[in-house]
Structure 1
């Protein structure tokens, strides 16, 4: 009968508004929680229908949804490992329990976090979320990884007390060789140049280069030099020697024309480099002398000898000074020698429906059937935003809006209680008919 359905509708209204009161309470309680995403409660009417001229009340039911897609305001901080997303996407994390137990890490994701190295160097939050990334190669490059699985992701570990060196892998030399020294009547002495480099153990070594002019042309300048390279780590043995000749045309005068190997690896005309086997053949260095016709590298003009543009990579052993994560997700460690090394690459996780993610403790989420499968992007590429250091994402709770909802929910709850009270009075009247 309609009077009974009215009571059931009133009870469903009390239940629905109690549920909404719960979400409002959570939203207000987490108004200052970094990364919190507010929860919305939706009301849906339940239609039973009309039969025999009497209307049967169906009542109401609720559904709740966490609005993960809504971005919170970015709040600046004073620490480089306070991270937040500036657009779509999330940071990949796992639980500390998975890391310490040695189990396969469960992929979780979060929008923001205050990450700090713990006693074991694991980069984690106070709530136990561990930041994950792809380890880089020794030169800081990222190997090929699968983007639709988390198998290659590893917990980020910062080894603060381990010295790190960066062996030299490339030396670039730019110098002017005096053209007049290749004449038959010139002094013809060898011109020396020393280049310091760093070995595999961070030791300082030297490449001793000599440029000897070829004076075999009796009619003028030969424009040819013999270059010899010796390595201090190989008992000053010759590791490379080659002959260079220079163009004397009007268009390309003074630039490299030919490079002929005498001893060691050949010259690569595409890159302008020669590979040197140094440190008793335990490591290699690319020596860049320039390409044919280029304005950089070795040149020959009628000017004094000037090795003015010599550079190399690498650094001696140094201690860790600081760690920062840039907008592209690169975990860069800076050492007291000035060496900066990329240790990890932190990708950005994205799913087709972020609002379908399942919330877990610590403002983290995990994929679900409703969210769809995840994909790992480089930060700032595809649909994803960049990673901001020195930043946290604020809660998306609007206190004024929640208090307004609180007032309307309280009134709605009271009105539904009044329906039950009215139905109770009507049933009491029905009972009194028998008296």
Structure 2
């Protein structure tokens, strides 16, 4: 009956507007919740086939959803592990309750923002109980190629607060002047052997320990008065870490070179030539005990000079202790190329070390952790080193609004959202990751209050329809009296 259909339409209007009121109240209640995505209510008219000469009201139905793909503004914070996605994509997280279970059982939840802090075990966790997930870095800081269509390569991001690291020295650069007068025949010849000029240089071995390269510069002098200056020096490099075949002072020779300097007008004082030798200046052959040894034992001469860039190549840290092994490795010592000024020179009368530069660092403790825009989690140490320990990918799927909302502003993939894909942040269709930032709530309070007024009026109007139908039905029953 037409009047009855009007009553049903009014009832459906009350129910639909009550649902809209629920979404509005939820949105307003979460206007300060970080990462909140507003709920929306959509009305759909129910149309029935009209009869001949009459109309039957179908009423209204309601569909609620969340605008998960709607971005909100970002606000800055003082915490480096407060993260927000700028653009398309989601951070992978998992409930902290899943830790301790097999990795295959970890559910993959998604979030657009999160305030992550390290817990007592070093995991980056939000106050809502979700752990950040990422790809673990290899020992050298590189990120292996993990499968992008599965989360099997993801691991909970764990920061070892007691972690320490060091960087072995691989390059040393030297600026030094040798006195040219020392390669002349001396006015007062010594009765004993010449004393070398010594320059100790610190370096760091593979274990982050401080070791010393002792560089000994011994001049070659003419045999008789009146002979021209030789402009030749013998450079002996000794290593405190090379215990294999060490001398009585605990240092082993890891390099022996003959350095010749120019004396012409254009290039005087610069290096002319460097040769690696296996004999002392007086022609005495090096004893096996003076040569560096490989781990397997046996003498070897493996020092060279690269004329292109002026690098001396030596090996340090060789030991006879099989358990200890090699605690050093190859080091390049840059003294300068032929005719290059400003490195190793021979001028005037003074022994003058000008500079010593080197890479590497001693062992340092973890200072803080930061995340860059590409999702690389970098541990900063108090010795100045920075190591990449994880990379946070961004998860994307064809229909973000098809995700299933969960507690804590997280979502689960579903058949409606489509298959997900893991992107490196900043690549492909995804945005990037902003640290020191959180995404605000997507609720527009002014818009919600306006919708609240509309809902209230619509609800009242539907109630009025029901009241009117009731009065009309009352008049119908009054016909028969």
- Counterparts of 1:149 and 1:106 in 2: how far apart (Å)? 12
1:2-61 Cα shifts (integer Å, max 9, x gaps): 333323322322222122111111101101111111112122223333342333333222
What are the within-5 Å matches in structure 2 for residues 164-313 of structure 1?
Answer: 164-175=164-175, 192-210=198-216, 228-235=236-243, 236-240=251-255, 263-264=301-302, 274=313, 276-280=315-319, 281-289=325-333, 306=353, 308-313=355-360
* 1:325 to partner: Cα distance: 2.7
With over 3 angstroms needed to count, the CA separation of the structure-2 counterparts of 1:171 and 1:81, relative to structure 1, is same
- Counterparts of 1:51 and 1:293 in 2: how far apart (Å)? 105
* 1:155 to partner: Cα distance: 1.1
What are the within-5 Å matches in structure 2 for residues 88-167 of structure 1?
Answer: 88-104=88-104, 105-160=106-161, 162=162, 164-167=164-167
* 1:284 to partner: Cα distance: 4.4
Structure with max Cα Rg: 2
* 1:66 to partner: Cα distance: 1.5
Match of 1:315 among 356, 359, 362: 362
Partner of 2:286: none
* 1:296 to partner: Cα distance: 10
Q: Are 1:420 and 2:466 matched, yes or no?
A: yes
Partner of 2:440: 394
With over 3 angstroms needed to count, the CA separation of the structure-2 counterparts of 1:355 and 1:213, relative to structure 1, is farther
* 1:368 to partner: Cα distance: 2.4
* 1:297 to partner: Cα distance: 9.7
Partner of 2:14: 14
Q: How many residues end up aligned between the 2 structures?
A: 432
Moved more, 275-284 or 122-131: 275-284
With over 3 angstroms needed to count, the CA separation of the structure-2 counterparts of 1:425 and 1:338, relative to structure 1, is same
With over 3 angstroms needed to count, the CA separation of the structure-2 counterparts of 1:367 and 1:312, relative to structure 1, is same
Partner of 1:355: 401
Partner of 1:376: 422
Assess if the C-alpha contact under 8 Å between 2:261 and 2:346 holds in 1.
no
- Counterparts of 1:385 and 1:136 in 2: how far apart (Å)? 22
Assess if the C-alpha contact under 8 Å between 2:220 and 2:234 holds in 1.
yes
Partner of 2:284: none
With over 3 angstroms needed to count, the CA separation of the structure-2 counterparts of 1:206 and 1:373, relative to structure 1, is farther
* 1:408 to partner: Cα distance: 0.5
With over 3 angstroms needed to count, the CA separation of the structure-2 counterparts of 1:185 and 1:352, relative to structure 1, is farther
Instruction: Give TM-score scaled by structure 2 length.
Output: 0.75
Partner of 2:292: none
Moved more, 353-362 or 167-176: 167-176
The root-mean-square deviation of aligned C-alpha atoms, in Å, is 3.9
Q: Which runs of 5+ in 2 are unaligned?
A: 244-250, 279-300, 320-324
What are the within-5 Å matches in structure 2 for residues 317-356 of structure 1?
Answer: 318-356=364-402
Partner-residue secondary structure (3-state), 1:333: strand
Q: Are 1:407 and 2:413 matched, yes or no?
A: no
- Counterparts of 1:297 and 1:42 in 2: how far apart (Å)? 77
Partner-residue secondary structure (3-state), 1:109: strand
Partner of 1:36: 36
